[in-house]
Amino acid sequence: MTIETDFTHDPDAKSWVESANGHPSFPVQNLPLCVFSPPSGGEPRGGIAIGDMILDLVDIADMLELDAATAAQLASGPKLNDLLQRGPDMMRALRHGVFELLTDDTDKKTIEPALHKADDCHLYVPVTIGDYTDFYTGIHHAENIGSLFRPDNPLLPNYKYVPIGYHGRSSSIRLSGKDVHRPSGQKKPAQDGAQPDFGPSERLDYEMEMGIWIGQGNGLGQPIPIHKAEEHIAGISILNDWSARDIQAWEYQPLGPFLAKNFHSTISPWIVTMDALAPFRTAQPARPDGDPAPLEYLMDDNDQQNGAFGVTMDVYISTAKMREDGDEPHQLSTGPMTSMYWTAAQLVAHHSVGGCNMQPGDLLGTGTLTSGEEGGEGSLIELTEGGKKPITLPNGETRTFLENGDEIIMTAYAEKAGYARIGIGECRAVITG
Amino acid sequence: MTIETDFTHDPDAKSWVESANGHPSFPVQNLPLCVFSPPSGGEPRGGIAIGDMILDLVDIADMLELDAATAAQLASGPKLNDLLQRGPDMMRALRHGVFELLTDDTDKKTIEPALHKADDCHLYVPVTIGDYTDFYTGIHHAENIGSLFRPDNPLLPNYKYVPIGYHGRSSSIRLSGKDVHRPSGQKKPAQDGAQPDFGPSERLDYEMEMGIWIGQGNGLGQPIPIHKAEEHIAGISILNDWSARDIQAWEYQPLGPFLAKNFHSTISPWIVTMDALAPFRTAQPARPDGDPAPLEYLMDDNDQQNGAFGVTMDVYISTAKMREDGDEPHQLSTGPMTSMYWTAAQLVAHHSVGGCNMQPGDLLGTGTLTSGEEGGEGSLIELTEGGKKPITLPNGETRTFLENGDEIIMTAYAEKAGYARIGIGECRAVITG
């Protein structure tokens, strides 16, 4: 099925859920998955966003047929791993079935009780995240960070060959909206050879990333070839990989970031599916002259032509004072997801090439995505040039790193002429002491 | 309760399970936990080793009382996380209850059907491992590896302050006995600036580690203080952290090991409990003159006096030819677990100090434990000085790194005058192509 023949991409399609039509994030062309509990309470279960509402998949499973019904049943529990495991065909069946229910008003009266105001629902991390891997695909971020941590050697020789990544901490991933405690830890001493300082991080930062959800897994010792890798991806969310730069600078050699990252990561609630994103896939940007071609196991023509995501990401800050004064959040950056040096499929192929088994619900972070243009910096350490140049907010407050009470808000969306704009969601959290 | 007043440490205690008495690993003083299915089949469930047998905890739960009965019920499923979560008192109640059942022969006839020959049972990874963290506490290993990877800079300035660790991959941890597929990957090019090689690792190695199981978890943002850390440890096992050195050398900067480690890790089947280990706890060796004292959050007098483990670890190799010829495995090394530069409690306190939440069943690897004396090298890269000096086996075969068909066998035990010797178990696997 191509984008042209899949009726769920029709920009003129309307839902009888009025708030969906023209909705900036959740028109009927999006239909992202979540886990929620309704305002009346009850166990967490799978849902789908439509306009300002969430459709309860448990309640409407009986109205679906064949694979769509099976998919809704697989999504009836508190985690969506079982649905993700069944792969793209099952995900597509659910999308098509729900699209029909929400565009054809024949059963409107029956379905309406299964719709809940999203603002009144409680949302949950939608899967059990077995393993979380954070990549480092933002080459402009890698260059910026590298020049701060290793001025003589910003981009290491392996960067353009290896999709650099490391294992992150899955236990501390929390949904958007959950406060972030400022971590304490050992911080790099002011001078070489001195004892490290210990205390609350003074260089607390955010990182604008996108999260990629694994759908179907692979067996241990059975690599996923690059041309099959997309079939193992279920969808995307927004990821804020909070980072304590002073802890990171001291601890990260030789085995990588640890406490600097594992105190908390924030994920947006919606799994925006690969089908919803299909119209917004785009060519992987050409590599700069002189860069090596990807090795064969990372090279697939179709992936090079369609493997990138035409998604725009925005970061905002809202300080405690701004909220008190009723000020709007202030935009810190905007940038395209195409700043990934590697495609999502390349990340999956690389991750599994040695035989590592991926499991449904595993999360891959893209790494901080910085556009390379001014205003496209994906972290404060880049915006403030390592904390040396504070930024000034519209109300006169300044920031080098995050202060208690600061809220970071990330949003992302895809839009393209001829298609309905879809939102990826919102990822926000307030720093507490 | 002290070691002296806990009757389960009585070296003269005998079990009516004859094979337990004088058993080199599993006398009644040990009683390690496992998950198994009996020879007749059936669902995986919790068990306890006694001599050559495994006691089925499902079958005997009704014969226990109070907390011991609750503990056996918590261990009735395919994973022991729920039992571990309940902490040391619950674990001790189970130990005491089972000890009484197996030493007092009143109910022998009733219990005997719940005993299965261990060799005929199928064993499983005993918990769901949410997160796996690998530390680097073996200072002699860190020095040896450091001098190979960074000749000018073997031990980095943070090493003696920070219990260095990184997040590992939990999905690819397998039980002892499961074959290990040799991973393929990008390998460091022979000369700087050249394209990396791709293919099967030619420098495949083992790492002799111990695994520490987390029992009770902590909440996100709620560090575990050092003096409470032992209460969060459930027990230990043997861990082989297989490593592809050529992949590691190319990929590990700046974010640490990734594909070099995540293709497979092997764990021994038994969780040897902290109570079983109590008689063998020993003082943390004094730091060499000139080394800094641990920072305050890592310092506890009781931990310094009793926080180390008097456990001896042995590594053996058995090549395909040796097995064909009926040769015994050849011992590669032996060393004490006291070569850890940090105690287990320090690892837990450090891991959580920034607020990271630990969960029951999380696994902490000690890192490769190399004794610092000849014959105490915990990996082949150390034994062969970076692959430059092959070792010769008794049958004339030589090895720099592992070849297909090689089996690595790790064992560990604790012994001390006045106490029954206990075994930690066995961790073995064969390399396949």
* Stronger pLDDT, B2 or B200, i.e. the higher one: B200
Chain B interface includes A157 (CB < 8 A) = yes
Mention every residue, 6+ apart, whose C-beta is less than 8 A from residue B17: B28, B50, B51, B53, B102, B115
Distance to chain B for A196, nearest Cα, Å: 8
Tell me which residue has tokens 């070691």. B3
* Residue B1: pLDDT over 80: no
Per CB-CB distance under 8 Å, the chain A contacts of B172 are 220, 355-357
The two three-digit tokens of residue A369, written as one number: 């995505």
Mention every residue, 6+ apart, whose C-beta is less than 8 A from residue B66: B93
Average pLDDT over chain A reads 97
Backbone angles phi, psi at B132, to 5 degrees: -120, 125
Nearest CA in chain B to A432: B221
| Nearest partner of A210 among A178, A244, A233, A226, judged by Cα | A233
Please enumerate, by residue number, every residue of B annotated as part of a binding site.
134, 136, 150, 207, 209, 241, 248, 252, 261, 265, 368
- pLDDT for position B2: 84
The two three-digit tokens of residue B181, written as one number: 């597929």
> Are B47 and B54 a contacting pair, CB within 8 Å?
yes
* Residue A124: pLDDT over 80: yes
Mention every residue, 6+ apart, whose C-beta is less than 8 A from residue B104: none
The two three-digit tokens of residue B28, written as one number: 């009644």
- pLDDT for position A341: 98
Tell me if residue B203 falls in helix, strand or coil.
Answer: coil
| Nearest partner of A53 among A119, A113, A5, judged by Cα | A119
Per CB-CB distance under 8 Å, the chain A contacts of B356 are 169, 171-172, 259, 262-263
Tell me which residue has tokens 């039992």. B83
With pLDDT > 70 as the criterion, what percentage of chain A qualifies? Answer: 100
Q: DSSP labels for B335-371?
A: EEGGGBSS-HHHHHHHHHTTSPPP-TT-EEE------
Please enumerate, by residue number, every residue of B annotated as part of a binding site for substrate.
136, 150, 248, 252, 368
Q: Cα–Cα distance between A225 and A297 in angstroms, integer?
A: 7
User: Residue A154 — very low, low, confident or very high, per pLDDT cuts 50/70/90?
Assistant: confident
Q: DSSP labels for A147-213?
A: HHH-TT-SS-TTTTTS--EEE--STTEEETT--EEPPEEEE--SSTTSPPEEEE-SSEE--EEEEEE
> Are A209 and A135 a contacting pair, CB within 8 Å?
no
Per CB-CB distance under 8 Å, the chain A contacts of B263 are 220-221, 354-356
User: Residue A4 — very low, low, confident or very high, per pLDDT cuts 50/70/90?
Assistant: confident
- pLDDT for position A190: 85
User: Residue A193 — very low, low, confident or very high, per pLDDT cuts 50/70/90?
Assistant: confident
User: Residue A191 — very low, low, confident or very high, per pLDDT cuts 50/70/90?
Assistant: confident
Strand order in the sheet with A122-124: A115-117, A53-56, A45-50, A33-37, A122-124
Mention every residue, 6+ apart, whose C-beta is less than 8 A from residue B323: B407
* Residue B151: pLDDT over 90: no
Cα distances (angstroms) measured from residue A349 to each of A223, A242, A353, A356, A368 = 7, 26, 6, 10, 20
Nearest CA in chain B to A347: B259
User: Residue B149 — very low, low, confident or very high, per pLDDT cuts 50/70/90?
Assistant: confident
Residue A96: which H helix or E strand, with range? helix A88-103
- pLDDT for position B398: 98
**Do the domains B7-124 and B132-432 sit in the same CATH topology, yes or no?**
no
Residues 35-94 of B with CB under 8 A from A: none
Output the CATH code of domain A132-432.
3.90.850.10
- pLDDT for position A150: 81
How big is chain A by its Cα radius of gyration, in Å? 22
Distance to chain B for A167, nearest Cα, Å: 5
Active site residue A141: yes
Q: Cα–Cα distance between A394 and A350 in angstroms, integer?
A: 43
Chain B interface includes A131 (CB < 8 A) = yes
Chain B interface includes A223 (CB < 8 A) = yes
A40 labeled binding residue:
no
Q: Which ranges constitute the DSSP H helices of B112-230?
A: 139-149
A85 labeled binding residue:
no
- pLDDT for position A192: 82
> Are B344 and A174 a contacting pair, CB within 8 Å?
no
> Are A292 and B195 a contacting pair, CB within 8 Å?
yes
* Residue A149: pLDDT over 80: no
- pLDDT for position B330: 98
Query: Omega of the bond prior to A254 within 30 degrees of 0, cis?
Result: yes
- pLDDT for position B4: 84
Q: Cα–Cα distance between A201 and A182 in angstroms, integer?
A: 7
Q: Cα–Cα distance between B235 and B275 in angstroms, integer?
A: 8
Q: Cα–Cα distance between B10 and A63 in angstroms, integer?
A: 66
- Considering only CB atoms, A255 lies closest to which of B136, B198, B356, namely B136
Per-residue pLDDT tens over the stretch A228-272: 999 999 999 999 999 999 999 999 999 999 999 999 999 999 999
Distance to chain A for B159, nearest Cα, Å: 9
Query: Omega of the bond prior to A196 within 30 degrees of 0, cis?
Result: no
Query: Taking the domains of chain B in order of start, what are their residue ranges?
Result: 7-124, 132-432
Q: Cα–Cα distance between B63 and B53 in angstroms, integer?
A: 19
Strand A180-181 vs strand A422-432: parallel, antiparallel, or unpaired?
parallel
Chain A interface includes B7 (CB < 8 A) = no
A400 labeled binding residue:
no
* B192 to A157: CB separation less than 8 angstroms, yes or no: yes
- pLDDT for position B252: 93
> CA neighbours within 13 Å on the CB side: how many for A127?
31
Backbone angles phi, psi at A238, to 5 degrees: -100, 140
| Nearest partner of B285 among B248, B336, B348, B320, judged by Cα | B336
Per-residue pLDDT tens over the stretch B378-424: 999 999 999 999 999 999 999 999 999 999 999 999 999 999 999 99
Backbone angles phi, psi at B312, to 5 degrees: -110, 135
Q: Cα–Cα distance between A264 and B221 in angstroms, integer?
A: 9
Per-residue pLDDT tens over the stretch B216-244: 999 999 999 999 999 999 999 999 999 99
Distance to chain A for B12, nearest Cα, Å: 44
> Are A371 and A335 a contacting pair, CB within 8 Å?
yes
> Which residues of B have a catalytic role annotated?
141
Chain A interface includes B172 (CB < 8 A) = yes
> Are A212 and A169 a contacting pair, CB within 8 Å?
no
| Nearest partner of A248 among A261, A263, A239, judged by Cα | A261
Task: Give the ipTM of the model, two decimals please.
Answer: 0.97
Per-residue pLDDT tens over the stretch B48-79: 999 999 999 999 999 999 999 999 999 999 99
Chain A interface includes B356 (CB < 8 A) = yes
With pLDDT > 90 as the criterion, what percentage of chain B qualifies? Answer: 94
Distance to chain B for A355, nearest Cα, Å: 5
Per-residue pLDDT tens over the stretch A272-329: 999 999 999 999 999 999 999 999 999 999 999 999 999 999 999 999 999 999 999 9
- pLDDT for position B191: 86
Distance to chain A for B233, nearest Cα, Å: 17
Chain A interface includes B138 (CB < 8 A) = no
What is the DSSP-derived secondary structure letter of residue A138? Answer: B
Report the amino acid identity of residue A323: R
Backbone angles phi, psi at B403, to 5 degrees: -110, 160
Rounded to whole angstroms, the maximal C-alpha distance in chain A is 74
* Residue B311: pLDDT over 90: yes
Q: Which entry of A23, A116, A140, A141 is annotated as an active-site residue?
A: A141
Q: Cα–Cα distance between B232 and B237 in angstroms, integer?
A: 16
> Are A348 and A110 a contacting pair, CB within 8 Å?
no
- pLDDT for position B241: 98
Give the burial string for B353-369 (b: 16+ CB within 10 Å, else e). bbbbbbbbbbbbbbbbb
CATH class of the domain defined by B7-124: mainly beta
* The Cα angle at residue A283 between residues A280 and A286, in degrees rounded to 5: 145
What is the DSSP-derived secondary structure letter of residue A358? Answer: P
If you average pLDDT over residues B193-201, what whole number do you get? 94
If you average pLDDT over residues A183-197, what whole number do you get? 91
Q: Cα(first)–Cα(last) distance of chain A, in Å?
A: 51
Q: Which residues pair with B380 in a beta bridge?
A: none
Cα distances (angstroms) measured from residue B431 to each of A392, B24, B404 = 58, 28, 5
Per CB-CB distance under 8 Å, the chain B contacts of A167 are 166-169, 258, 262
Q: Cα–Cα distance between A201 and A207 in angstroms, integer?
A: 16
* The Cα angle at residue A331 between residues A328 and A333, in degrees rounded to 5: 170
> Are A287 and A339 a contacting pair, CB within 8 Å?
no
Q: Cα–Cα distance between A375 and A209 in angstroms, integer?
A: 16
> Are B424 and B311 a contacting pair, CB within 8 Å?
yes
* B150 to A258: CB separation less than 8 angstroms, yes or no: no
Tell me if residue B148 falls in helix, strand or coil.
Answer: helix
Chain A interface includes B196 (CB < 8 A) = yes
Q: Which has the minimum average pLDDT: A103-117, B189-203, B235-249?
A: B189-203
Chain B interface includes A149 (CB < 8 A) = yes
Q: Which residues pair with B273 in a beta bridge?
A: B235
Cβ-based neighbour number of residue A16 at 10 Å: 18
Cβ-based neighbour number of residue A411 at 10 Å: 22
Q: Cα–Cα distance between B169 and A167 in angstroms, integer?
A: 7
User: Residue A332 — very low, low, confident or very high, per pLDDT cuts 50/70/90?
Assistant: very high
A265 labeled binding residue:
yes
Nearest CA in chain B to A221: B181
Report the amino acid identity of residue B87: G
Cα dihedral B82, B87, B88, B93, rounded to 10, equals -50
Chain A interface includes B141 (CB < 8 A) = no
- pLDDT for position B64: 98
User: Residue B306 — very low, low, confident or very high, per pLDDT cuts 50/70/90?
Assistant: very high
Chain A interface includes B292 (CB < 8 A) = yes
